[in-house]
Amino acid sequence: MKLIRDYLIIFTVTGIVMALLFNNIILPLYVNWNDEIRVPSLTHTDLNQAAKILSERKLQWAVKDTIYRRDIPSSFVMDQYPEAGQMVKENRKIQLTISLPPAKLEMPDLVAITERQATIALDRLGLILSSVLKDSSDLFEKTVVVDQSIAAGLPVAPGDSIVLTVSLGKRNLKKTMPELLNKGLDESVRILQYTGFTLGEVKYTESSELLPNTVVRQSEPAGKIFPRERVVTIDLIITNGF
């Protein structure tokens, strides 16, 4: 038993001596090798913690850049220079890139500019163009932005996603000449106005079979197609009674 106890005492004393050697000789040699200091790893640590680590090693720090990541907490170290493990002199300033929430931005007005111009504007603000929808438009030419998912003037932040709607060009709308034969004049005028046509000259003809003011002829045949924006004047011939 005495032999075991002696071994335990020797083992304990040896352990204490080795610990003292490591803390007071080996570790300082590792951190301060040849009067230089080994740069610690600071990435993904809180800025306050990183500052404390550097201070303990007699190193200084400065913010080199800031970036924004939704999945990273604020004031976390994202990058450093020099990199971890490099040897530097005492009081060397370590450049840090940290995460910071961006200041709120104002959503720009992208309507009536081209898709390319809108893409550049979004990129400059750090906004993400998540998708582009296409739709016809009678107001805007092809490739011009006609709508945006976030209205101009609303607050946005870098990383926000934006959806744009871009014009495919005019819808090429058409209008079809209605059938007016055997209809009364008043009804025919209403139909022409509703379908986008203009009443032109009205002439009369004798008829013993139809009621007065009944259309017996129209200058354009029913079913004929015209562009919606074109002004088309329709002349009518109607009965004047018995």
How much is the average pLDDT of 34-48? Answer: 88
pLDDT, position 73:
84
pLDDT, position 197:
95
User: One-letter amino acid identity for 89?
Assistant: K
More confident residue, 169 or 187: 187
How much is the average pLDDT of 206-234? Answer: 91
Q: Which domains does the chain have, with CATH numbers?
A: 2-99 (3.30.10.20), 105-167 (3.30.10.20), 174-239 (3.30.10.20)
Buried b (16+ CB within 10 A) or exposed e, 20-44: eeeeeeeeeeeeeeeeebebbebee
How much is the average pLDDT of 40-51? Answer: 92
- Each residue of 143-152: pLDDT tens digit? 999 999 999 9
Tokens representing residue 122 in the block:
């979004």
Instruction: Measure the CA–CA gap between 143 and 178, rounded to whole angstroms.
Output: 35
Tokens representing residue 84 in the block:
């971890």
Sort strands 93-99 and 145-148 into parallel, antiparallel or unpaired.
unpaired
Tokens representing residue 70 in the block:
């939704």
Helices (H) and strands (E) in the chain, counts: 5, 16
pLDDT, position 93:
94
Instruction: Measure the CA–CA gap between 199 and 177, rounded to whole angstroms.
Output: 12
pLDDT tier, 124 (very low <50, low <70, confident <90, very high otherwise): confident
pLDDT, position 241:
63
What 3-state DSSP class applies to 180? coil
Cα dihedral 214, 220, 224, 228 sign: negative
Residue 199: how many CB atoms within 10 A of its CB?
Answer: 14
